Amino acid sequence: MRLPHTPGADIIYELSERLYPSPLESFREAIANSLDEGSSKVGIKIAKGEVTLEDWGQGIDDIEKFVKFGEASKAGAKGETIGEKGLGKLSLLRLGKDVTFLTNNGETGMSILMTPEYFDYETKSASRFLNHRGTKVVIPNPSEIPIITDLQKYLSRAFSLRIARGTVIEVNGEKLESRGKIDTNESLVCRLTGAIDVTGNVKEDPKGRGVLDLFVKHVFVEQVVIDPERRFSGWVNCNGLKPTTARNNVLRNRAFDDFMLHIKQHCAKFPRMDEELSRGQILLGNELDRMLKSYLKAMGIVPIGELQIGTGDRGSMTGRPVQRHTSDRSDVVRKLHDQVKSTLPTDRNVKRTSRSSAGILWVDADLGNDNEPIFYQKPNTIYRNLTNDIFKFATLTKPSLGPSWLRIMPYMARAVIQLHPDYEKWDRKKLNLEMDSAVRYFLKYKGAAEAIARAA
């Protein structure tokens, strides 16, 4: 006997509080809904006792569709729609427990009250609640308001491309500008499996770091490290990728692997960098690699894919086969590794790459403070971000600061635990405990190694 899923009364609390990391996402979701309704302007006003968001779109015309969530209710809409399943409006409950939508769709007007427990609405004449076509959201006595400057920076980044193309977003009467210079000219960059287009604007850039801004539905999602050995910059948009519900990154699935494979191939035409590592960077890099190999061996972790190891002859690199997942992603992952292998110089100690017999490809990159000092990227790459202030601090040769590896160790621990097969299943508590465990392991390993060295 089959029974349908029956959500409990607390599910709305869970969705509004836990799907979105901060109140910043609530404003982003409200603006996305306004753009989906055809509005080219959104006005936000934030005061101590009230928050309002007003647009000049089509207005709400179907109350039955509006109160639904969890279904692809916008799938049949014309044009490029940002939202899909109606979850975004629930994020507004993070700002306050009573959210009122005043709407005018040109024929009727509605006042819709949304609470965690229910919807309530009344219908009147078109201009009864709002004197122009569109929707106004009113949140009295907000419980959580972001700092205004933080909100402005966040929205300027999230909607940078749309703002540059004419969308107007105002916060307390101040018109937002796109964060950073962005060239809005858009052309086909590459085409993925299934005729999925990747469009955008990618150019050679002497100051480029091999990183691209990734947009989905022309809304910024995340920065993606493509090839830090090459000088290029820009942005790409791919509607075939799926953002997470919070829209802070895209799902790492087969489509993303295919995207990375094709975009790396496209960017292989840009010139390389030939900057040498400093002595401090080399010493710290070698020490981190030894720590990594010891940790992986102790934990019994075997990285996925073909390993790039050894120096080999000019233009070649030997590979040692290891355990692979047998999912349908394996072909794409193998192609990705073949592409990486074909572009790596292996005959000299360049700034951008180094090798590990543990199966990890180390990449030394200049990614600044927009990225962590050390971070992991699937399937088996760890980046050392040489221009991150924390990494630069770790390479200072001052005895009074202690050993370099100790200064960078917490970030190393955060990266290596992501190699665990079950990492994506962990909750926050489990993740923190595993980080602590990795830190303890490194301390124990280094203590033993240094004791042996002193005895010798």
Domain range annotation of the chain: 11-73+80-175, 187-267, 279-455
Q: Cite the DSSP H helix spans in 45-195.
A: 63-67, 148-158, 160-164
For the chain, percent of residues with pLDDT exceeding 70: 78
Please classify residue 261 by burial: count the beta carbons closer than 10 Å to its beta carbon, then call 0-12 exposed, 13-18 middle and 19+ buried: buried
The pLDDT-based confidence of 364 (bands split at 50, 70, 90) is confident
Please state, in angstroms and rounded to a whole number, the distance separating the CA atoms of residues 160 and 86: 23
Residue whose tokens read 């005729």:
195
Predicted local distance difference test score (pLDDT) of residue 78: 56
Question: Of 35 and 144, which is predicted with more confidence?
Answer: 35
Mean pLDDT is highest, among 11-15, 338-342, 428-432, for 428-432
Q: What is the pLDDT of residues 290-301, one digit of tens each?
A: 888 889 888 888
pTM equals: 0.70
Predicted local distance difference test score (pLDDT) of residue 5: 61
In this predicted structure, the answer to whether residue 348 has a pLDDT above a threshold of 50 is no
Mean pLDDT on 382-388: 88
Q: What is the pLDDT of residues 243-280, one digit of tens each?
A: 987 788 899 899 999 999 999 999 999 988 766 677 77
Please state, in angstroms and rounded to a whole number, the distance separating the CA atoms of residues 19 and 35: 21
Q: What is the pLDDT of residues 367-379, one digit of tens each?
A: 888 889 999 887 7
Predicted local distance difference test score (pLDDT) of residue 341: 42
Structure tokens given for 134: 């569109």
Q: What is the pLDDT of residues 81-103, one digit of tens each?
A: 786 656 788 889 889 999 999 99
DSSP codes of every residue in 86-147: S-GGGGGGGT-S-EEEEEE-SSEEEEEEE-SS-EEEEEEETTSS-SSSEEEEEEES-S----
Question: Of 423 and 220, which is predicted with more confidence?
Answer: 220
Question: Of 269 and 308, which is predicted with more confidence?
Answer: 269
Structure tokens given for 317: 């690199």
CA dihedral 33, 36, 41, 42 (to 10 degrees): 0
Q: How many CB atoms lie within 10 A of CB 167?
A: 19
Q: What is the pLDDT of residues 122-164, one digit of tens each?
A: 999 999 999 999 999 999 999 888 899 999 999 999 999 999 9
Predicted local distance difference test score (pLDDT) of residue 336: 46
In this predicted structure, the answer to whether residue 289 has a pLDDT above a threshold of 90 is no
Mean pLDDT of the chain: 81
Predicted local distance difference test score (pLDDT) of residue 351: 45
CATH, domain range 11-73+80-175 = 3.30.565.10
Q: What is the pLDDT of residues 411-447, one digit of tens each?
A: 999 999 998 888 888 988 999 999 999 999 999 888 8
Please classify residue 314 by burial: count the beta carbons closer than 10 Å to its beta carbon, then call 0-12 exposed, 13-18 middle and 19+ buried: exposed
